[in-house]
Chains A and B, each alone.
Chain A
Amino acid sequence: MRAYFTTLIRIFYKDLVLELKSKDIINSMLFYALIIIVIFSFVITSGSKVYNELSVGIIWIAIVFSGVLGLNRAVLIETVNDSIVALMLAPVDISAIFFGKVLSITIFILLMEIIIIPVFTVFYNINIFAEGIFPIYFLLFGTYGFALLGSLFSFMTIKTRAKELLLPLLLLPLIIPILLAGIKGISLYMGAETSDDYIKWFKLLVAFDIIFTLVIYMLIDKIFEE
Chain B
Amino acid sequence: MKKNNIFDIITILFVVTAIYLVFFYVPEEKTMGIIQKIFYFHVSSAWVSFFAFLLTFIFSILYLKKNKSTYDGIAFSSAEVGLVFCTIVLVTGPLWAKPVWGAYWTWDPRLTTTLVLWFIYASYLLLRKFIDDDQKKATYSAILGIIGFIDVPLVYFSIKWFRTIHPNVFRSGGGLEKSMLYTLLFSLFAFTLLFINLLVKRIKLERLYVEIKKIKFNRGLD
Residues of A within 8 A of B (CB): 149, 152-153, 156-157, 159-162, 166, 169-170, 172-174, 176-177, 180-181, 184, 200-201, 204, 207-208, 211-212, 215-216, 219, 222-223, 225-226
Contacts and interface: CB of A to CB of B under 8 A. Distances in A.
B151 interface: yes
Contacts of A173: 116, 119-120, 123, 155
Given A156-B143, A166-B127, A166-B130, A219 B150 contact: no
A184 B161 CA distance: 9
B144 interface: yes
Given A159-B136, A177-B158, A180-B162, A212 B127 contact: no
A177 B64 contact: no
B130 A160 contact: yes
A185 B120 CA distance: 24
Given A201-B161, A223-B139, 17 more contacts: A149-B147, A152-B143, A156-B144, A157-B130, A160-B127, A160-B131, A161-B130, A166-B126, A169-B123, A170-B123, A177-B154, A177-B158, A184-B162, A204-B158, A208-B154, A215-B147, A219-B64
Nearest to A219: B143
B64 A222 contact: yes
- Name the prevailing secondary structure of the B interface residues: helix
27 contacts: A152-B147, A153-B144, A156-B144, A160-B127, A160-B130, A160-B131, A160-B140, A161-B130, A161-B132, A166-B127, A169-B126, A170-B123, A172-B119, A173-B119, A173-B120, A174-B147, A174-B151, A180-B158, A204-B154, A204-B157, A204-B161, A212-B147, A219-B143, A219-B147, A223-B139, A223-B140, A226-B136
